[in-house]
Structure 1
Amino acid sequence: MYIGKRTASLPSYCSKCGKPHPWIQTILDNAAELIALDTELSEPEKIAIKASIPDLLVETPKTPIAEAKFKIYFAKMGQVVKTGMYNLIVDVISESVKKSIFPD
């Protein structure tokens, strides 16, 4: 048995059908629930940030736009939701996105 940090990453989406794997769907659902709790964002902002999250998990042509939306709306979130969102997605977003939106 090996105890330590896992270095191999699990795929986010099914290579055959394109749907999120159950562990990713849970993260997406939890992110949506966290965003719904936020009192600082307007409804259109909540919709925009929710829609951006799937493109942060894997590199797609939409990733740069998703990064910009996430940065803008993440900055507006209340601290409790912001902390929860960071903890939820920091380990599943792509490395380049992580460096861009969480540079510290």
Structure 2
Amino acid sequence: VVAVDADAGLRNLDLLLGLENRVNLTAADVLAGDCRLDQALVRHRSLRGLHLLCLSKPRSKLPLAFGSKILTWVADALRRGADPPAFILIDCPAGPAFFPA
């Protein structure tokens, strides 16, 4: 299972899972070419099979207009990976601005 924290402005899924000190790389780093997707995944040490992927670091300047495109890319990349997850859970920010019509 991969849980994706897609709230670029107010990331908090890492806090809820107790992984806040282990998030060093994000999907934004992958898109920038700074790392591979598997390097940005944070494995939960006590919940076997659970990985976290944060879309960006807190207070980043990632444009919200790209939200749905980035999530589509992330989901496709996870499915094409060497060990695709059975489930991808996405924690989205509130409001319609994230998925413009």
State if a TM-score over 0.5 links the two structures.
no
Query: Greater helix percent: which structure?
Result: 1
Q: Highest CA radius of gyration, 1 or 2? A: 1
Question: Whose RCO is larger (CA < 8 A, sep 6+)?
Answer: 2
TM bracket, shorter-chain basis:
0.3 to 0.5
TM-score (normalizing by structure 1): 0.32
Q: Provide TM-score, normalisation by structure 2.
A: 0.33
Structure number with the higher strand fraction is 2
